[in-house]
Structure 1
Amino acid sequence: MTIDLRQKAEALAAPLPALLAQAEHLAASVLPGAHGRRRVGQGDEFWQYRPATTSDGAGRIDWRRSGRADAHFVRETEWQAAQTVTLWVDRAQAMAFTGSKDRVPKADRARLLGLALAVLLLKGGERVGLLPDMPPRMGRAQLEPLTLALAADDATDFGTPPTGAIPARSQAVFLSDFLGPTEELERTVAHAVAQRVRGVLVQILDPVEEEFPYQGRSIFESMSGALRHETLRANDLQARYRDRLAARKDALAALARKSGWQILTHHTNQPPSHALMALWQTLDGGR
């Protein structure tokens, strides 16, 4: 039993160095030398000088810097309070789908984006956690357990983020295809909003899921094998399928709008760097 457990553990850990290396490479390619999402606030670290305004009292003027110019300047420091970001990365069976052997499964892209974002945030001195049961912590030591947790798969057909466990007044990022039932997602987002949590929904789709290019006799089966549908005229389903996908996207957009959250869409044939940069900028704008 001990040998069997060790073999399972080694098999689970095997892809971890590669995943972490990919995530760090992606993070470095998007924001080389990143030092966090800087903003003005309380702290001792100098950030910038800015021209003084009529609302700035004499005590805020940096007279030494102002003496070298014909205008008054205020010395601003950088906000040093660490922010908290909680990730949820969908690893259910539906996320294992890819429409081509030349494209990665949706789950692989979600893992990569989630871990690369964590690398950037931790480098910036932020706290990062992972739902359902990894509390937010600072420092590079958080990367190893985070990578290990992301390597595990979920046996369910569709994933849903668990309600609770997101610290109040923090930020959250959910990465999924969001093609399963939406009730649990809506409850989780509502609970988070009640805790004054700001968030981002990142919908990850394979291009085939957008196009529905199937013709003639086709068999559609869920990734777990629990659902199966056979048709002789797949092309007859195309319009209805696209309408339902559009309705799902509209529902997600409405949920984000109602909650004050943001929503991003990423396709697995697109460079992951585009999604990571958009996600980083979205989080940065929320501070």
Structure 2
Amino acid sequence: MSETASALRQSAERLSGGLPPLIVAAEHLANSVLPGAHGRRRAGPGADFWQFRPAGPGDVASRIDWRRSGRGDDLHIRESEWQAARAVTLWVDTGAAMGFSGAARRETKGARARLLALALALVLLRGGERVGLAEAGRAPRAGRSQAALISLALAEEADAGPERSAIDLRAAPAGGHVVLFSDFLGDLDAVQAALSQAAARNMRGILVQVLDPAEEDFPFDGRTRFESMSGHQSFETLRAGDLRAAYRDRLAARKDRLAALAGQAGWLATTLHTDRSPAEGLLWLYHALGGGGR
């Protein structure tokens, strides 16, 4: 390796080493899952050439590319690439409840939510979409500078606060797409109100419920003390195992209601778990948004 190349590599390593781990992980996730993602590869209004296709019934003569057609016996239509980028707004619950992890080496719900949100933002931005956060001053925009702003914003650790943060979509543009990340274990009436307001503004989106497997399985038994992440609520029982069946039934009912609320608003809903590969979740989200297209 030459001296110049060695110095360049050392500089790059120092630079990447100074980045928050979330940004490095999200970049790696986006590159490994969708390395060649291009969000809008289809015909439509735009200035950039996309492809030639054979002319067919219904095509008008003015759309024929005579130079290309002159190379053979068939007539060809010159198509442009669709360039109507969407506005996608991301909201991540920063409440204390998202700091839960059921195992010491398993990332928290909040960490997984921020990882997925950032990786999704990077993929969409590379596809030419406009992406932003549901915060004042962070409206959806395109470009590398926006990727850097979103990366730094999501990499910031949330301060200890209320158990769950309130959904606020006032900064999201009407007619755009929205992706909400939370455990959705709090008040679903608040979620319903947010979805109703979003539907009134012609927003479409996805509810992404992020759960730890312990919250699904309820593996507790015997004497157990449950305490909220904010420390404001606690409950102790001598026979936690007796609560397992009722807990699972209530969680299933909550998921059903969450799916129903999403369906009523024309949205989608999914549940992702912190013990599963984040690549699975990113792929699902990307395709649920139409693979980057409308």
Instruction: Give the match for residue 216 of structure 2.
Output: 210
Q: 1:254 to 1:51 in 2, by over 3 A?
A: farther
In 1, are the aligned partners of 2:40 and 2:128 still within 8 Å (CA)? Answer: no
Q: 1:248 aligns with which of 245, 254, 258?
A: 254
Q: Does 1:73 align with 2:76?
A: yes
Q: 1:264 aligns with which of 261, 267, 270?
A: 270
In 2, are the aligned partners of 1:163 and 1:187 still within 8 Å (CA)? Answer: no
Q: 1:230 aligns with which of 231, 236, 241?
A: 236
Structure 2: gaps spanning 5 or more residues: 1-16
Q: Does 1:143 align with 2:144?
A: no
Instruction: Give the match for residue 82 of structure 1.
Output: 85
Secondary structure of 2:107's counterpart equals coil
* Aligned equivalents of 2:258, 2:71: Cα separation in 1: 54
Secondary structure of 1:137's counterpart equals coil
* Aligned equivalents of 2:152, 2:257: Cα separation in 1: 33
The residue type paired with residue 105 of structure 1 is T
Deviates more, 1:14-23 or 1:266-275: 14-23
In 1, are the aligned partners of 2:177 and 2:205 still within 8 Å (CA)? Answer: yes
What are the Cα deviations for residues 194-246 of structure 1, in whole angstroms up to 9, with x where unaligned?
A: 11111011111111111111111111111111110000111111111111111
Q: 1:189 aligns with which of 155, 176, 195?
A: 195
The residue type paired with residue 144 of structure 2 is R
In 1, are the aligned partners of 2:175 and 2:203 still within 8 Å (CA)? Answer: yes
Instruction: Give the match for residue 167 of structure 2.
Output: 161
The residue type paired with residue 139 of structure 1 is G
Q: 1:163 to 1:116 in 2, by over 3 A?
A: closer
TM-score (norm 2): 0.87
Instruction: Give the match for residue 184 of structure 2.
Output: 178
Q: Does 1:19 align with 2:22?
A: yes
TM-superposed CA distance for 1:79, in Å, is 1.3
Structure 1: gaps spanning 5 or more residues: 1-13
Secondary structure of 2:262's counterpart equals helix
TM-superposed CA distance for 1:135, in Å, is 1.6
Secondary structure of 1:112's counterpart equals helix
Instruction: Give the match for residue 117 of structure 2.
Output: 114
TM-superposed CA distance for 1:159, in Å, is 2.7
* Aligned equivalents of 1:166, 1:90: Cα separation in 2: 16
Q: 1:240 to 1:71 in 2, by over 3 A?
A: farther
* Aligned equivalents of 1:189, 1:229: Cα separation in 2: 31
Q: Does 1:43 align with 2:43?
A: no
Deviates more, 1:264-273 or 1:49-58: 49-58
TM-superposed CA distance for 1:71, in Å, is 4.5
Root-mean-square deviation (Å): 2.0
Secondary structure of 2:128's counterpart equals coil
* Aligned equivalents of 2:18, 2:110: Cα separation in 1: 14
* Aligned equivalents of 1:187, 1:70: Cα separation in 2: 60
TM-superposed CA distance for 1:143, in Å, is 3.0
Instruction: Give the match for residue 283 of structure 1.
Output: 289
Instruction: Give the match for residue 280 of structure 2.
Output: 274
In 2, are the aligned partners of 1:86 and 1:172 still within 8 Å (CA)? Answer: yes
Q: Does 1:32 align with 2:38?
A: no
TM-superposed CA distance for 1:68, in Å, is 4.8
TM-score (norm 1): 0.89
* Aligned equivalents of 2:212, 2:54: Cα separation in 1: 49
* Aligned equivalents of 1:111, 1:16: Cα separation in 2: 15
Q: Percent identity?
A: 55
